[in-house]
Structure 1
Amino acid sequence: MENAQQFNDDLCQFLTVATTPFHAVAEMARRLQAAGYSPLAEDADWSLKAGGRYYVIRNGSSIIAFGIGTDAGPVEGVRMVGAHTDSPCLMVKPAPERQSHGYFQLGVEVYGGALLNPWFDRDLSLAGRVSFQCAGGALRTALIDFRRAIATVPSLAIHLDREANKSRSVNPQKDIPPLLCQLGEGEKADFRDILRAQLLEEHPDCAVDKVLDYELCFYDTQAAAVIGLQGDFLASARLDNLLSCYTGLQALLQWDGKATVLLVCNDHEEVGSLSAAGAQGPMLGSVLKRIAGDLAGYSALTERSMMISADNAHGIHPNYADRHDENHGPLLNAGPVIKINSNQRYASNSETTGMYRMLAAAEGVPVQSFVVRTDMACGSTIGPITAGEVGVRTLDIGVPTFGMHSIRELAGTQDAYNLSRVLRRYYNFAGPLAAS
Structure 2
Amino acid sequence: MSDALAHVKDLGEYVAASPSSFHAARTAADRLQAAGFIELHEDANWPETAGKYVVVRDGAFIAWIIPEGAAAGTGFNIFGTHTDSPTFKLKPSPTTGKFGWLQAGVEVYGGPLLNSWLDRELQLAGRLVTLDGAEHLVATGPLLRFPQLAIHLDRAVNEGLKLDKQQHMNPVWGLGDPSAADLLGQLAARAGVDREEIGGYDVVAADTQPAQVFGANAEFFASGRLDNLSSVHAGLCALESAAESKSGGSIAVLAAFDHEEVGSGSRSGAAGPFLEDVLARIGAGMGAGTADSQRALAASFCISADAGHAVHPNYAERHDPANRPVLGGGPLLKINANQRYTTDAPGAAYWAALCREAEVPYQEFVSNNSIPCGSTIGPLTATRLGIRTIDVGIPLLSMHSAREMSGVSDPFQLSRAAAAFFTR
User: TM-score higher than 0.5 here?
Assistant: yes
Q: 1:166 aligns with which of 159, 166, 189?
A: 159
- RMSD over aligned CA atoms reads 1.6
3-state SS in 1 of match to 2:201: strand
1:192 aligns with 2:194: no
Structure 1: distance between partners of 2:6 and 2:276: 35
Structure 2: distance between partners of 1:220 and 1:228: 22
Equivalent in the alignment of 2:254:
263
Equivalent in the alignment of 2:274:
283
3-state SS in 1 of match to 2:170: coil
1:180 aligns with 2:179: no
Equivalent in the alignment of 2:342:
347
Q: Structure 2 counterpart of 1:14, which letter?
A: Y
Structure 2: distance between partners of 1:47 and 1:80: 20
Comparing 262-271 and 360-369, the one that deviates more: 360-369
Structure 1: distance between partners of 2:398 and 2:197: 40
1:324 deviates by: 0.7
Structure 2: distance between partners of 1:212 and 1:105: 22
Structure 2: distance between partners of 1:104 and 1:55: 41
Q: Is residue 330–residue 337 contact of structure 1 (8 Å, CA) maintained in 2?
A: yes
Structure 2: distance between partners of 1:210 and 1:288: 37
From the superposition, tell whether residues 187 and 419 of structure 1 become closer, same or farther in structure 2 (CA, over 3 Å). closer
1:322 deviates by: 0.9
From the superposition, tell whether residues 72 and 352 of structure 1 become closer, same or farther in structure 2 (CA, over 3 Å). farther
Comparing 39-48 and 313-322, the one that deviates more: 39-48
From the superposition, tell whether residues 261 and 187 of structure 1 become closer, same or farther in structure 2 (CA, over 3 Å). closer
Q: Structure 2 counterpart of 1:53, which letter?
A: K
Q: 2:140 aligns with which of 146, 171, 181?
A: 146
Extract unaligned runs of 5+ from structure 1: 201-205, 430-436
Equivalent in the alignment of 1:19:
19
Q: Is residue 26–residue 56 contact of structure 2 (8 Å, CA) maintained in 1?
A: no
1:109-120 correspondence to structure 2 within 5 Å: 109-120=107-118
3-state SS in 1 of match to 2:180: coil
Equivalent in the alignment of 1:35:
35
Structure 2: distance between partners of 1:114 and 1:107: 17
Equivalent in the alignment of 1:131:
129
1:74-113 correspondence to structure 2 within 5 Å: 75-113=73-111
From the superposition, tell whether residues 208 and 168 of structure 1 become closer, same or farther in structure 2 (CA, over 3 Å). closer
3-state SS in 2 of match to 1:76: coil
1:295 deviates by: 1.7
Equivalent in the alignment of 1:328:
323
1:63 deviates by: 0.4
Equivalent in the alignment of 2:5:
5
Equivalent in the alignment of 1:306:
301
1:208 deviates by: 6.1
1:235 aligns with 2:222: yes
Extract unaligned runs of 5+ from structure 2: none
1:374 deviates by: 1.4
1:409-424 correspondence to structure 2 within 5 Å: 409-424=404-419
3-state SS in 2 of match to 1:394: strand
1:207 deviates by: 6.0
Q: Structure 2 counterpart of 1:141, which letter?
A: E
Structure 2: distance between partners of 1:344 and 1:187: 51
Deviations 1:197-253 (A, max 9, x none): 2222xxxxx566522221111111101121222111110000000010000011111
Structure 2: distance between partners of 1:353 and 1:370: 12
Output the TM-score relative to the length of structure 1.
0.92
Equivalent in the alignment of 1:433:
none
From the superposition, tell whether residues 207 and 379 of structure 1 become closer, same or farther in structure 2 (CA, over 3 Å). closer
Structure 1: distance between partners of 2:259 and 2:348: 26
Structure 2: distance between partners of 1:122 and 1:252: 34
Structure 2: distance between partners of 1:108 and 1:117: 16
Comparing 361-370 and 235-244, the one that deviates more: 361-370
